[in-house]
Amino acid sequence: MKRPPAIDPTRHALFLDFDGTLVDLVDDPTEVALAGDRIERLAEMTERLSGALAIVSGRRIADLDRFLAPLAFAAAGVHGLERRREPGGETEFLMQPEALDPIRDALAPMLEENRRLQLEDKGTALVLHYRTAPDLAEAAKSVMRHAVEGRDDLVVMEGDNIVEVHPAGMDKGKALADFMAAAPFGGRIPVYLGDDTTDEFALKIVTEMRGIAIKVGGKESVAEYRLADVVDVHHWLDVCGI
């Protein structure tokens, strides 16, 4: 495993996935928690990076704010459909929730029949969780694929025990590239940490930008560098030079 190098707070911009990177994956996604000293460390790093630290997540920015309070940070939520370009800034929404109403209706019978499946409604994306019902994985994927048939404006994406639908043309890589085009990120070298399939878009963009792409865990990846798990991520963040 090739460990990532130290980074320079005057030259680098840091992008962090949330679930599976900063916090461990859990059965109930509302039950994650980050220790207070870890939030303080993120605040210290944000200051040293002059604001060039962003959380890039499939979660809504409002949920990230709740988990990371009182930290002020830039963020891309729902794979980039929500954007906050600087700490304390306004959140932009790239689509409206009602565009997914037909998908909600199509999923309802499956959810009624299989109560072990959990639907996470992010407004601009819908996520079926089957971590507690692995035997329903194929059924969850199938119902989501059928729900979006004929909708060229939507895309289905599979992740760690989830299947998600959200608007086409948006992913974490595109969100990261957008952040890198303006202050406080512009002109810096991107560093990205992520563990899931959805993070590969961002890891690929960072590699193309000659930045530092770091995969968390053992899954196949385009990333040059590796960290073992969430504990290893926090250890590295403490010694990375920021």
Beta strand 53-56 with 225-227 is unpaired
Q: For this structure, is 17 an active site residue?
A: yes
* Catalytic hit among 8, 17, 152, 199: 17
Query: Looking at the annotation, which residues are catalytic?
Result: 17
